[in-house]
């Protein structure tokens, strides 16, 4: 493929065997270092000649290790994006799919192999992924500069897409932002970011986000308190002094507790999830400032989300141990009181009546309370608002996930969405022909949604949108089926506490 001209200069990429070209490590903003640390992003500098775009740009500083191979160095100089395209014809006007990576806003990178966009682009879309500032570097609050720098990074990446993507064969008037976990929370936050309005036209929210622009638990006051704690630890609030601190000093001061520390009797993810976008009334507002009435949204969860956090072989980061030893009835009781304080006894009674082990009960409880019930509330809210929204549940369990008992865990849908799986007929294969069929169906639905705003089954049937009467969702299991929205008794019980709280 010939070099492509962007607003910053010409770039050359590399060609894949499937006809897709990759352009990696393109700067979409200036390096946020020195005087630009803890500041909104500024435009990238232009260059002379042809820039070789065949290697990923730096990943953001990993506040805590995520366990994946980033395939890139870490640096505060991390505002780079990647483009995969099946054509460079400016007249092609293909749908554009912009991926926001997950990792609790603390780790992860667009360069991870799981997020490679080449296979998805082969379906007829331009795929873009980008890095952004993580943790304290993206979300510190300072009275002179504000907060939500990472949110502004996302906006800057979307603005780059508007300015440049037509040269890669994409349609700047048809941009879908999609993400998973904290990447999904980012998509949801963008719906409430006024400066993002008009920069994207569809959104896919996978396993996070839902009811709030970020989360009811993360407010601007909590970010201010966290930032004040950091200022105390490093001994200064002076912005120039903060910008001159070694990055390791900043990272260490940003942690609210040592990595892996636990509260006795309670489980938590090891990610120390405290640095989040917050509704500050400026960058992110309450409501839907960037969600036009005609913008469709797709959202959903996996069937067994919590098995990613509560592993069958023991907690993440700990030594391998049986589920019976790692997850006890005492832990279950504490978590029931924590997650459903108004009805904890009723929750535990349900589990006793069903004869579930503590581990099985715990994973169901966390999945229902953190993922499935908020998704139910979102379905109802979006339907009541008259928004065009599509609700799915991913429940396919591959042979490998059946053997490991991870089931349809948090992130398990990503190999299907991006198409990275090697199917085999042998019993020890991680994926089989059933999985490749579901991969094809999911990629078809995701790209069709990006192209037209309506996800469809492989035979052309439109997914049902959220409705207040006879609500339905699309279930992706061994086949793709449209089913009535029928929450589990546990999800219904938890949902009843939302109504009780509103009444009081």
Q: Tell me which residues are annotated as active site.
A: 181, 305, 410
Continuous segment of H or E residues that includes residue 83: strand 80-85
Query: How many degrees, rounded to 5, is the angle at CA 65 between CA 181 and CA 246?
Result: 115
Could you give the CA distance from residue 189 to residue 168 in angstroms, rounded to a whole number?
27
| Residue-wise DSSP of 228-270 | HHHHHHHT---HHHHHHS-HHHHHHHH-SS-TT---TT----T
CB burial string 166-202: b at 16+ within 10 A, e below:
bbbbbbbebbbbbbbbbbbbbbbbbbbbebbbebbbb
3-state secondary structure of 22: strand
d(C-alpha 377, C-alpha 390), whole Å:
13
H-run or E-run covering 350: helix 344-354
Phi, psi of 465 (to 5 degrees): -85, 165
How deeply is 67 buried, as exposed, middle or buried, from its count of CB atoms within 10 A (0-12, 13-18, 19+)? Answer: exposed
Would you give the DSSP letter of residue 281? Answer: S
Backbone angles phi, psi at 100, to 5 degrees: -110, 115
């Amino acid at each position: 493929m010939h070099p492509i001209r962007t607003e910053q200069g010409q770039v050359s990429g590399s060609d894949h065997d499937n006809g897709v070209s990759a352009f990696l490590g393109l700067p979409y903003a200036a390096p946020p270092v020195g005087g630009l640390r803890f500041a909104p992003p500024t435009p990238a500098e232009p260059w002379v000649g042809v820039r070789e775009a065949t290697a990923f740009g730096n990943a953001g500083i990993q506040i805590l290790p995520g366990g994946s191979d980033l395939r890139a160095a870490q640096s505060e100089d991390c505002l780079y994006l990647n483009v995969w395209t099946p054509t460079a014809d400016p007249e092609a006007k293909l749908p554009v799919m912009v991926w926001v990576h997950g990792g609790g806003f603390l780790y992860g990178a667009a360069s991870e192999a799981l997020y490679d966009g080449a296979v998805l682009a082969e379906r007829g879309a331009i795929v873009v992924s980008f890095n952004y500032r993580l943790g304290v570097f993206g979300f510190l609050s300072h009275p002179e500069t504000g907060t939500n720098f990472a949110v502004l990074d996302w906006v800057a990446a979307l603005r780059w897409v508007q300015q440049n993507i037509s040269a890669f064969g994409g349609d700047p008037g048809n941009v879908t932002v999609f993400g998973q976990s904290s990447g999904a929370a980012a998509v949801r936050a963008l719906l409430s970011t006024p400066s993002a309005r008009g920069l994207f036209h569809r959104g896919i929210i996978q396993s996070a986000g839902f009811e709030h622009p970020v989360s009811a638990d993360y407010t601007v006051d909590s970010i201010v308190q966290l930032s004040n704690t950091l200022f105390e630890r490093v001994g200064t609030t002076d912005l120039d002094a903060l910008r001159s601190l070694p990055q390791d000093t900043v990272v260490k001061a940003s942690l609210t507790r040592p990595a892996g520390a636990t509260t006795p009797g309670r489980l938590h993810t090891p990610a120390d999830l405290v640095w989040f976008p917050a509704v500050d009334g400026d960058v992110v507002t309450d409501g839907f400032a960037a969600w036009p009435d005609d913008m469709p949204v797709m959202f959903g969860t996996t069937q067994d989300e919590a098995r990613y956090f509560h592993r069958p072989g023991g907690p993440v980061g700990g030594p391998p141990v049986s589920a019976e030893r790692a997850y006890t009835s005492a832990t279950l009781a504490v978590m029931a009181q924590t997650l459903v304080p108004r009805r904890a006894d009723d929750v535990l009674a349900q589990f006793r009546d069903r004869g579930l082990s503590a581990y099985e009960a715990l994973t169901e409880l966390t999945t229902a309370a953190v993922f499935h019930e908020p998704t139910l509330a979102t379905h109802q809210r979006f339907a009541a608002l008259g928004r065009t929204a599509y609700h799915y549940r991913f429940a396919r369990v591959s042979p490998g996930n059946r053997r490991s008992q991870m089931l349809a865990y948090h992130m398990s849908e990503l190999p299907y969405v991006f198409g990275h799986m090697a199917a085999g007929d042998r019993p020890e294969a991680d994926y089989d022909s059933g999985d490749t069929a579901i991969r094809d169906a999911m990629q078809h639905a995701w790209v069709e949604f990006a192209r037209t705003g309506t996800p469809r089954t492989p035979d052309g049937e439109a997914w049902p949108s959220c409705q207040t009467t006879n609500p339905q969702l699309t279930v992706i299991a061994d086949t793709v089926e449209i089913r009535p929205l029928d929450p589990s008794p546990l999800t219904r019980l938890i949902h009843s506490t939302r109504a009780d709280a509103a009444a009081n």
